[in-house]
Amino acid sequence: MQAKGQIGNLDLVKKINMEHIINTILKYRPISRAKIASITGLNKMTVSSCVDLLLQKGIVVELGTTGTSRGRPPTLVDINELAGICVGVDIEINQFTLLITDLLGKKLESMIFPVNNKNPAYFVNTISGILADLKKTHSHRQLGIVGVGIVIQGYYNIRTDAVDYSANLQEWIDFPLLSELTKQIPDIPIYINPAPYAGALGEVHFGRSKSVDHLVYVTSSWGLSVGVYNNGELFTGTTGTAGRLGHSTIHMNGKKCSCGSRGCWEMYASIKALYDLLESTPQQLSFTEIVDSLHAGDSKVTSAVHELGHYQGIGLANVINAYNPRVICIGGLLALLGPKLINSIWNTLNEMIPERFLRNVEIYCSDLGELGVAHGGVSMVIGQLSNTIIHYSLLE
């Protein structure tokens, strides 16, 4: 029994060492074995045997030498980014978008699939078929599909592993999405997050705020919600519904909201609110037309965006007081309103919050465009990459 325990511990130590080494290569790539040893504090033998295993498995490659040191220059090691693919899936009401990247998140291709069926089982069957095809297409890669990050409209209960709530896809509520997908595609790791959480992850990994520690992502389609990223992790709350700030009250006796309350932030600062201000609907006026009119200086649209920005500012004052973020990133359709929205937000914040609490805050619109949330799906996969590589490398 004792011998068994020792083997278990050795395996654990080996995995922990491998994780350090892989994370160091990912962070400092390309890098020499000696440098990996000095950063991780592991001895050179341990580093070399791990790197040799990764080389043998095709996960890393040797790139030649640094040419900077005297004597025999060290060989640099890098991740073989083509050893596998990451997939991000953004599920919307009428379509879902797939983003396929290499292991380092570089886009290989994206695809949009129109959907006219709101049944979640239909989605499971369709996406399983697409992933099976992708798996065949990429079977020459050592790791194949390393994971799929799925972004849902609504919230996912991290305790019950079922969709908790979706305002626009009521059919999905209580659907055990992860277990149903796992039944169809048991050998591909799957991760699920709501759109505002994925937006925050996408921004931290791919956007202007790479490596920032504290970020709040604000997104609005018809409603409004936020994703909070803090020191490397998403703030999920107990069940995974943290960030429903669109339903925080900003007017005690304000407009009636679909949640049953009154005066919710999203009634004044969402895309729906913008359409209300313009006394129009998406059927009468597309969002692209609104953005074009704004850039052309149309006075009605400019005034509506200014008012929307004022109400955004009121809600964001609450966000700043609650979370003390370094960055607030405006994502989704709101991001297309650009600097005019941001200026109005700042006007309101400067009136509401003392300067000392604002001086370290940066607010901007995301540059990631319509693939922003799908990038978040890829981020979920890349966040687990070292574990996936270890699992594969230790297979006989």
Nearer to Zn ion, 205 or 247 (CB): 247
Nearer to Zn ion, 255 or 300 (CB): 255
Could you tell me which stretch among 85-93, 213-221, 245-253, 342-350 binds Zn ion (CB under 5 A)?
245-253
- Please report, as residue ranges, which positions from 137 to 166 form the binding site for Zn ion (by CB under 5 A): none
Q: Which of residues 158, 178, 257, 285 is near Zn ion by CB under 5 A?
A: 257
CA dihedral 308, 309, 314, 320 (to 10 degrees): 140
**Alpha carbons 24 and 53: distance in angstroms, whole number:** 16
CB neighbour burial string for 132-152, b if at least 16 within 10 angstroms, e if fewer: eebbeebeebebbbbbbbbbb
Q: Which of residues 247, 317, 336, 349 is near Zn ion by CB under 5 A?
A: 247
Could you tell me which stretch among 104-112, 128-136, 252-260, 345-353 binds Zn ion (CB under 5 A)?
252-260
**What is the smallest separation between the CB atom of 245 and Zn ion, expressed in angstroms?**
10
Residue pair 377/150 in contact (Cβ under 8 Å)? The answer is yes
Sheet holding 31-32: strands in order across? 31-32, 75-79, 60-65
Q: Note the Cα 47 to chain centre separation in Å.
A: 31
Nearer to Zn ion, 69 or 261 (CB): 261
Total site size for Zn ion, rule CB under 5 A: 5
| 264 in contact with Zn ion (CB under 5 A) | yes
**What is the smallest separation between the CB atom of 178 and Zn ion, expressed in angstroms?**
28
Return phi, psi of residue 190, to 5°.
-125, 135
Residue pair 111/131 in contact (Cβ under 8 Å)? The answer is no
Could you give the string, one character per residue 273-302, with x where binding to Zn ion holds by CB under 5 A and - elsewhere?
A: ------------------------------
Nearer to Zn ion, 20 or 247 (CB): 247
| 259 in contact with Zn ion (CB under 5 A) | yes
Nearer to Zn ion, 35 or 247 (CB): 247
Q: What six digits make up the tokens of 145?
A: 């599909």
Nearer to Zn ion, 44 or 256 (CB): 256
| 353 in contact with Zn ion (CB under 5 A) | no
Assign 333 to helix, strand or coil: helix
**What is the smallest separation between the CB atom of 322 and Zn ion, expressed in angstroms?**
17
**Alpha carbons 141 and 58: distance in angstroms, whole number:** 9
Nearer to Zn ion, 90 or 266 (CB): 266
Could you tell me which stretch among 21-29, 200-208, 250-258, 286-294 binds Zn ion (CB under 5 A)?
250-258
CA-wise closest residue to 367 among 172, 185, 208, 211: 208
**What is the smallest separation between the CB atom of 264 and Zn ion, expressed in angstroms?**
3
Those residues whose C-beta lies under 8 Å from the C-beta of residue 23, and which sit 6 or more positions away, are 386
**What is the smallest separation between the CB atom of 243 and Zn ion, expressed in angstroms?**
14
Nearer to Zn ion, 160 or 258 (CB): 258
Assign 25 to helix, strand or coil: helix
Rg of the chain in Å (alpha carbons): 24
Give the footprint of Zn ion on this chain (CB under 5 A): 247, 257, 259, 261, 264
